[in-house]
Copies of this chain bind each other. A is one copy, B any other.
Amino acid sequence: MKDVSVGICGLGTVGGGTFNVLTRNAKIIAGRAGCNIRIGRVASRTPREDIDMGGIPFSTDIFDVINDPDIDVVVELIGGYEAARELVLAAIKNGKHVVTANKALIAVHGNEIFEAAEKANVIVAYEAGVAGGIPVIKSVREGMAANRIDWIAGIINGTGNYILTEMRAGREFAEVLKEAQDLGYAEADPTFDVEGIDAAHKLTILASAGFGVPLQFERAYTEGISQITPYDIAHAELLGYRIKHLGIARRREDGIELRVHPTLVPRSHLIAQVDGVLNAVLVDGDAVGQTMYYGPGAGDEATASAVIADIVDVARTVSSGSSQRVPYLGFDPSALEDLGVLPMEDIQSAYYLRITAMDHPGVLAKVASILSEHGINIESIMQKESELKDGRIPVIILTHTVQERQVNRAIEELEALTDIDGQVVRIRAENFN
């Protein structure tokens, strides 16, 4: 069977990992693919002295790869939005199959890219873009094909999960962030990770592949973890919950919920036990129920594992003479539904509320009455006399499931009370029922 020739664009962390694994495991990979997968060309702005290229053609211009007639599959590992978009569209135009690890590219420009690939009859694969080495796109698009997928919830940013895990020991966000930066887990500018933008890219892709709707990143809601305190983490634990930075997508009749925010999850649920830089994605289907996919969400060879799985998929499909076997978003383009993302006020959730009450008589009654007026039922309430300080005392409330709009209105009224000091802390909670 004919060799498949791969051109690697970008030789950073993932590019280097891909080069090394393709080289080291060449025999195993050929055994699985049914043909040799050969690195035909590598391009990167800066060469890497630490990798032995063994005579493989090297360019500093990534466009050399897509113009090389020897290359069958272009592997885009340069990252970013615009340059990657240009590269991928040009590769498609040249009739190359594309494998990418670029979640931002797919979340933002995926609809355009898939349409171009469909016209050119080439494959675009993006497993490595979501949850690194975990084959969750494959599981959702293929393994769950029988199911109406109802919701997906994931810990899909390792940096944020590392920070929240370390904060359980009572440490402050800023201190752990600095440590994560020193360890290389967090970027110098941590915004993408800690504010949930990176997770929202991945969630956008997961939701579209699971529900069969176009990519709608611009309508995803993101809330970061920088406001989370060790105090709230400890009190959530007392209530039997753990705070995780979750991406949650839910399919409803009237649209989809698409949101990344700190979330209380039951400590007894398996996803609460996923600690450190690891990732996990829970998928709920109407036939199978809940399944979970767990593993490293980043790292050179872990991400390369997903990149190469896609290359093998392309090789298996191409060498059997057919084109894109699995539709880009799991559903045939003609079967995609025109379902929009819902505004956050329309979502339903349980809520953890932390209210700083003045030590006045009757304040609890006022709080309870405001919640009740907005149809909010209380599951648990905690107030400890020992925490009274400067005439203020924290009141912790866990509500039953309610519409976010109701909670927002109740919070407005609570904050207007002279018996309440400052803002109400509000963190969403999920029971996965």
Complex: A22 Cα to B146 Cα, angstroms: 7
Minimum CB–CB distance for A335 against chain B, Å: 3
Evaluate contact between B21 and A287: CB separation under 8 angstroms.
Answer: yes
Residues in chain B near residue A133, CB distance under 8 A = 287-289, 291
Binds B, one of A106-114, A256-264, A313-321: A313-321
Q: A-side interface residues toward B, CB under 8 Å?
A: 17, 21-22, 24-25, 28-34, 127, 133-135, 138-139, 141-148, 212, 270, 273-274, 285-296, 299, 301-302, 304-309, 312-313, 316-317, 320-323, 325-327, 330-332, 335-336
Interface centre among A285, A304, A323 (most CB of B within 10 A): A285
CA distance A146 to B306 in the complex (A): 8
Cα(A32)–Cα(B142), bound, Å? 8
A302 touches B288 (CB 8 A): yes
Contact A305-B29, Cβ < 8 Å, known A133-B291, A322-B317, A332-B34: no
Contact of A316 among B139, B212, B270, B326 (CB under 8 A): B326
Closest beta carbon of chain B to A292's beta carbon, Å: 4
Q: Could you say which of A31, A141, A288, A301 has the most chain B C-beta atoms within 10 Å of its C-beta?
A: A288
Q: Beyond A142-B312, A287-B305, is A148–B295 a contact (Cβ under 8 Å)?
A: no
* Cα of A288 to Cα of B285 in the assembled complex, Å: 26
- Chain B residue with minimal CB distance to A313? B142
Q: Is the pair A309, B31 in contact by a Cβ cutoff of 8 Å?
A: no
In the bound complex, CA of A299 to CA of B316 (Å):
32
Closest Cβ–Cβ distance, residue A223 to chain B (whole Å): 27
B296 touches A293 (CB 8 A): no
A306 to B288 alpha-carbon distance, docked (Å): 8
Per the bound structure, the CA–CA distance linking A292 and B335 in Å amounts to 31
Complex contact B332–A146 (CB within 8 A) = no
Name the CB-closest residue of B to A18. B146
CA distance A381 to B336 in the complex (A): 61
Q: Min CB distance, A209 to chain B, in Å?
A: 10
Tell me which residues across on chain B come within 8 A of A147, comparing CB atoms: 21, 25, 28, 305
Interface CB pairs A-B, < 8 A, 5 = A31-B332, A135-B138, A144-B305, A292-B292, A317-B320
Q: Is the CB of B145 within 8 A of A29?
A: yes
> Shortest beta-carbon distance, A392 to chain B, in Å?
38
- Contact with A32, one of B287, B290, B292, B331 (Cβ below 8 angstroms): B331
Give the distance in Å from the alpha carbon of A424 to the alpha carbon of B212 in the complex: 58
